[in-house]
Structure formats: structure tokens, C-alpha cells
């Protein structure tokens, strides 16, 4: 499995300094397991600080070295229960990712076209495009500088990398004109990011607040995404991961349109 969503590095400046692209290649090559099952809590917070909470069960599996399948099943509350999401994530430029959303109220499965992938995923600050891994060949990367992310209990050295889409098609699909990525040096995890949206003055801030090493694999266990217009916070999403199981057997049927329509 390749990771850039949801959920960094080894070397420091000097004789063996890496380029921005080389750093991102190491991020992309980081071992994140062949399969993951987890329970995900999504907290949606509007500009008036009103909260909505959703619970999901998530599954992901490497089908081969170039293909990863992911499914998400909404458990609560009742207004989204049995809603489900399916992604076929392909690496390389030869095939676009496939995404489907099952809407129980309509008893209908909707295919997500590329033109809609910059839209909000289930009312959150994450887009449909954020639910798939990024193809490194679609971007120009530049190493800007080194820094340190300071938190209450620790300090993490990072490299700060600028990511620019190579063409308008990538901008239209992701909704981002530029990204600033903070990559941890010790484990090649994306720790923080700033995404510049096509919409004027709108920026999204991602922060991996917590990450854990589970069965030798680093996993983001709490991530926030905040959308701002200038200095005003428009909306915020908090994702919390628990009951995480890595490298477990998952039947391929879990990743089918028939399964998301049937539910868990």
C-alpha cells in the first residue's frame, strides 16, 4: 500500500541531502502493510462549533503492486447508516482511479466521476480525491527547508516540501493549486500539510495529531483537516482511528459494488 492520505524521512541536510522528489519517493515506498482494518470516527465541526459525529468501519487491501482497494461503511448515526464508499486506487498514469458511493435512501450506487473528486467527502473537509493516493509523476516537488514540529510531549524534525501540479487536469481533479508538505525524518510519515484551493483565499490545513507504530507499521491515529477563508475557520474535521489491525486476511468480495450495497 502506498501512502501520501491520510497518512516521512531519515536523512538530514548535508553531503547526502535528498531532493524533494527523492523524499517523496521514500514516502511513497514506505511500508504501510498489505491490508488494514479499522474503526474510524469522523467529527464534523461547523463555523459555529456545532458538532456531528459519524462512525465507520474501514477496509483496505493491496490487490497487486499497482492496485489498492478500499471500502468504508458508515455505522452511525441513523441518517448516514449503511452509506458505503468504494475505491479502486491505481498507481501510474495509465488508468484513472474508480470510486463509487452507495446511498441507502435512494437505494442507488453512484459512480464518482473525475470532475467531482474535488468535492467534499460526506460533508467533511476531506475530498474524494483525498481518499486516494497521489501519483508522484503528476507533481513537481521542491525541498524548501528543514524545520521542527513541536508538540506537548515531543519534537519532530521535518522536511518541508512544495508540491505543484504539472497540469490543469490535476488541479481540476484534486481542487489544489499548490501543497506544502511536512515530512517527518524519522519514519517517512506525512505529519502536516497546507493545501491551496482553487477557490480564492481558501486553504485547508491538515495536521496528524497522533500516530502510532502498530505491528511495525506507522499509522496515523488522529488527523484534523481545517478549511479556512482568510483567517476565518469555515469548517473542521477530526478523524480518529482505533481497533486497527494490520496484515489481516480480507476477502476480495469486501471490495465490490455488491458488498457496499449489501452492507456489513
Question: For residue 69, what are the β-bridge partners?
Answer: 61, 88
Write down the pLDDT at residue 7: 42
111 within some domain: yes
For residue 138, pLDDT beyond 50: yes
For residue 12, pLDDT beyond 50: no
Q: pLDDT confidence of 94, banded at 50, 70, 90?
A: confident
3-state secondary structure of 152: coil
The structure's pTM equals 0.91
Which residues fall within 8 angstroms of residue 173, CB to CB, at 6 or more apart?
A: 114, 115, 117, 118, 129
72 within some domain: yes
DSSP state, residue 4: S
For residue 48, pLDDT beyond 70: yes
Gyration radius (Cα) of the chain, Å:
18
Q: Cell triple for residue 253?
A: 468480495
10 within some domain: no
Task: Looking at the chain, list the stretches that DSSP marks H as alpha helix, in order from N- to C-terminal side.
Answer: 20-29, 168-174, 257-262
Write down the pLDDT at residue 6: 44
Q: pLDDT confidence of 8, banded at 50, 70, 90?
A: very low
218 within some domain: yes
Task: Write the pLDDT tens digit of every residue in 190-246.
Answer: 999 999 999 878 999 999 999 999 999 999 999 999 999 999 999 999 999 999 999
Provide the domain limits for residue 178.
Answer: 20-262
Write down the pLDDT at residue 16: 61
How far lies 207's CA from each of 15, 61, 194, 263, in Å? 30, 25, 9, 31
Task: Write the pLDDT tens digit of every residue in 51-70.
Answer: 999 999 999 999 998 999 99
Write down the pLDDT at residue 1: 56
Greatest C-alpha distance within the chain: 60
For residue 88, pLDDT beyond 50: yes
For residue 150, pLDDT beyond 50: yes
Q: What is the mean pLDDT of residues 21-26?
A: 98
Cα separation, 129 vs 117, in Å, equals: 5
13 within some domain: no
2 within some domain: no
9 within some domain: no
Q: What is the mean pLDDT of residues 39-48?
A: 98
101 within some domain: yes
Question: At 237, which CATH number?
Answer: 2.50.20.10
Number of domains in the chain: 1
* Average pLDDT of the chain to the nearest whole number: 93
Amino acid at each position: 500500500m502506498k501512502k501520501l492520505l491520510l497518512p516521512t524521512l531519515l536523512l538530514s541536510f548535508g553531503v547526502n541531502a535528498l531532493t524533494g522528489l527523492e523524499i517523496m519517493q521514500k514516502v511513497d515506498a514506505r511500508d504501510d502493510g498489505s491490508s488494514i482494518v479499522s474503526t474510524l470516527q469522523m467529527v464534523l465541526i461547523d463555523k459555529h462549533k456545532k458538532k456531528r459525529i459519524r462512525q465507520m468501519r474501514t477496509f483496505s487491501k493491496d490487490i497487486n503492486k499497482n492496485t489498492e482497494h478500499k471500502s468504508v461503511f458508515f455505522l452511525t448515526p441513523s441518517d448516514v447508516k449503511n452509506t458505503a464508499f468504494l475505491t479502486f486506487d491505481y498507481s501510474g498514469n495509465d488508468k484513472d482511479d474508480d470510486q463509487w458511493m452507495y446511498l441507502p435512501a435512494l437505494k442507488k450506487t453512484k459512480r464518482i466521476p473525475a470532475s467531482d473528486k474535488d468535492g467534499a467527502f460526506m460533508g467533511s473537509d476531506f475530498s474524494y480525491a483525498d481518499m486516494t493516493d497521489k501519483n508522484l509523476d503528476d507533481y513537481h516537488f521542491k525541498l524548501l527547508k528543514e524545520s521542527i514540529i513541536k508538540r506537548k510531549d515531543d519534537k519532530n524534525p521535518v522536511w518541508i516540501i512544495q508540491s505543484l501540479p504539472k497540469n490543469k487536469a490535476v488541479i481540476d481533479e484534486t481542487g489544489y493549486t499548490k501543497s506544502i508538505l511536512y515530512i517527518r525524518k524519522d519514519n517517512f510519515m506525512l505529519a502536516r500539510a497546507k493545501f491551496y484551493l482553487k477557490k480564492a483565499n481558501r486553504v485547508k490545513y491538515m495536521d496528524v495529531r497522533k500516530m502510532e507504530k502498530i505491528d511495525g507499521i506507522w499509522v496515523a491515529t488522529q488527523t484534523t483537516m481545517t478549511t479556512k477563508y482568510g483567517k476565518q475557520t469555515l469548517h473542521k474535521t477530526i478523524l480518529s482511528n482505533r481497533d486497527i489491525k494490520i496484515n489481516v486476511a480480507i476477502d476480495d468480495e469486501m471490495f465490490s459494488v455488491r458488498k457496499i450495497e449489501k452492507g456489513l
